[in-house]
Amino acid sequence: MRMHRRTVLALAVFTGLTAPSLALAADDTIKIGLLATFEGPFTVLGEDGERGAMTAVAEMNGTVAGKKVEIVKGSSDASPDSAVRAARKLVEQDGVKVLVGPLSGDEGIAVKDYAKTQPNVTFINGTSAAQDTTLRDPAENFFRFSTDGAQWMAGLGTYAFNDKGYKKVATVAEDYSFPYTQVFGFMAEFCKAGGHVPSKSWVPIGNKDFSSVIAAIPEDVDAIYVALGGADAVNFLTQYQQGGGSAPLIGGSITVDQTVLTSKGKLRDVLKGTPSAGPTADTNDAPAWKTFVEAYKKQPGAFPSPSLFAHGYYVDMKATLLGLDQVGGDVSDGGKKLRDALSKLSFDTPTGKVSLDKNRNAIADIFLTEVTEGADGNLMNKLVKVVPQVNQTLGIPEDEFMKLGAVNRDNPSCP
């Protein structure tokens, strides 16, 4: 009896563990992995990233080089561990040879490290924008057609110093690699122009109480540079405004996007006139951008205007499909031809021309914006200026740029 019971148990475990993988793709389809945050604090962003990627797929009518595109999704919760786990599942179990993703900064660095162990798989970034994903110790098979967080800040530091006349700025940002990169991008220009940053506050993601942070901001600063996302930005701005703070703001790329601008209350008055910079601008009236917005809106659940995540995933997925098209959808050589094609790829996106540098990081246009009230009463990012073809070293010669050191909490510094 005892044996009988255990035997069945053992068999159950055994068969459960060996469920065969029926993931072999037919010859007339191409499988592309899509890794984004479908759970955790960045779920809304991940879903918009997916809309962007699917816009690119729909643009090609779901086929590339005569083969049907099959998207296999993987989900992470914005932690590096979960991103690697999801990437492993897509690559090792579902057998994708091309993977688009991930979304968040530290995830990108982790997936790049994983990419090195899978030389026959081609990885194309989603929207992760930490500098060191491609700048230091890059992976041969990791491509980023979306730009990094420092590039997104191009033009902002100079604009704040020269046009806005801010000489002293305090920064408040979340405590991980992407905001480090954003602060770096802002300060690289701002400090060079002659500005000073006497205080930098780093707060954990999901922080609720900002009172100690607000108390630590020096009284005599001309403005506060805020690189917080989603709920963190709303919480900080509300508490700062309620605490009687009146310094003008400078926004990071995801601080003054639609998720924050659509919030209600007095916050709106604080936000008006806030300069920011990023890979997109709401009032961009270039025909290519307008066409993209229309195509994007056909996706289920779309926002009135595509977020930076929809844009980033769109650009990276589009590049992937164009690359696959050039090689006739053939990745049977371990993706070597595809990677050659991607390295040389240069194409027009809704936000201008994109090409890659030697580290396979994008060179693209960046948009300097300012928050204004639209005709319908909604806040939006008005295009101030386009900074053309920003490269990863922000126009600084590479050896000089590398001497600035890796981005972290203390670098750069100009108190």
Which positions lie near other proteins, rule CB under 8 A? 1-11, 13-14, 16-19, 21, 36, 38-39, 47, 50, 73-75, 77, 79-82, 84-85, 88-89, 92-93, 106, 109-110, 113, 175-177, 204-205, 409
The amino acid that residue 259 corresponds to is T
For other proteins, give the closer residue by CB, 58 or 288: 58
HSE at residue 299, side-chain half, CA atoms within 13 A, is 24
For other proteins, give the closer residue by CB, 169 or 302: 302
- Residue 31 host element (H or E): strand 29-36
> Smallest gap, in angstroms, from Cβ of residue 4 to other proteins?
6
For other proteins, give the closer residue by CB, 43 or 263: 43
In DSSP notation, 129-178 reads --GGGTSSS--TTEEB-S--TTGGGTTHHHHHHHTS---BEEEEEESSHH
Contacts of 265 (CB under 8 A, 6+ apart): 238
> Smallest gap, in angstroms, from Cβ of residue 114 to other proteins?
8
Strand-pair category, 362-373 with 275-278: antiparallel
> Smallest gap, in angstroms, from Cβ of residue 156 to other proteins?
24
> Smallest gap, in angstroms, from Cβ of residue 284 to other proteins?
29
The amino acid that residue 241 corresponds to is Q
Helix, strand, or coil (residue 12): helix
Check: CB of residue 338 under 8 Å from CB of residue 122.
yes
For other proteins, give the closer residue by CB, 8 or 58: 8
For other proteins, give the closer residue by CB, 165 or 204: 204
> Smallest gap, in angstroms, from Cβ of residue 86 to other proteins?
8
> Smallest gap, in angstroms, from Cβ of residue 6 to other proteins?
2
- Give the span between the Cα atoms of 162 and 142, in whole angstroms: 37
Q: Is 49 exposed, middle or buried (0-12, 13-18, 19+ CB in 10 A)?
A: buried
For other proteins, give the closer residue by CB, 82 or 381: 82
- Residue 366 host element (H or E): strand 362-373
For other proteins, give the closer residue by CB, 109 or 124: 109
Intra-chain end-to-end CA distance of the chain, in Å: 77
- What sign has the CA pseudo-torsion 43, 49, 50, 52? positive
> Smallest gap, in angstroms, from Cβ of residue 9 to other proteins?
7
Closest CA to 279 of 384, 363, 351: 351
> Smallest gap, in angstroms, from Cβ of residue 204 to other proteins?
5
For other proteins, give the closer residue by CB, 110 or 394: 110
